[in-house]
């Protein structure tokens, strides 16, 4: 969907008024809970949650910034990835190991 907005001349002459408008909408949408962090991140084109968190902090959005729950969820994910990596490293590198018949 495309939205057209008439901007006052002094705002329209800024280097990137479209990006500024997008960021303002994203900030307010996130702040009021209409957008999730994932939606906000994708909408703004950020590749990581850390990039979004830095953007939000730079715009004084603290109430939904990286929370204790986010940290705990990230720790659980890290543990799962470490366990998976450990399990994979214990397997033989090739599944076609010769079978010994005694």
Distance, CA of 26 to CA of 80 (rounded, Å) = 32
- Other residues' Cβ atoms within 10 Å of the Cβ of residue 25: 16
Whether the pLDDT of residue 102 is over 50: the answer is no
DSSP conformation letters of 22-87: HHHHHHHHHHHTSS-HHHHHHHHT-SSHHHHHHHHHHTT--TTSS-HHHHHHHHHHHHHHHHHHHH
Distance, CA of 68 to CA of 82 (rounded, Å) = 21
Cα angle 81-54-36, degrees, rounded to a multiple of 5: 70
Give 6-64 pLDDT, tens digit per residue: 888 888 899 999 899 899 999 999 888 888 888 999 999 999 989 998 999 999 887 66
């Amino acid at each position: 969907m495309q939205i057209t907005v008439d901007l006052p001349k002094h705002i329209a002459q800024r280097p990137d008024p479209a990006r500024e408008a997008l960021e303002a909408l994203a900030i307010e949408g996130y702040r009021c809970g209409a957008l999730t962090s994932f939606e906000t991140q994708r909408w703004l084109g950020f590749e990581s949650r850390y990039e979004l968190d830095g953007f939000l902090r730079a715009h004084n959005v603290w109430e939904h910034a990286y929370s204790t729950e986010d940290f705990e969820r990230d720790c659980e994910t890290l543990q799962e990835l470490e366990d998976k990596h450990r399990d994979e490293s214990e397997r033989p590198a090739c599944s076609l190991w010769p079978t010994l018949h005694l």
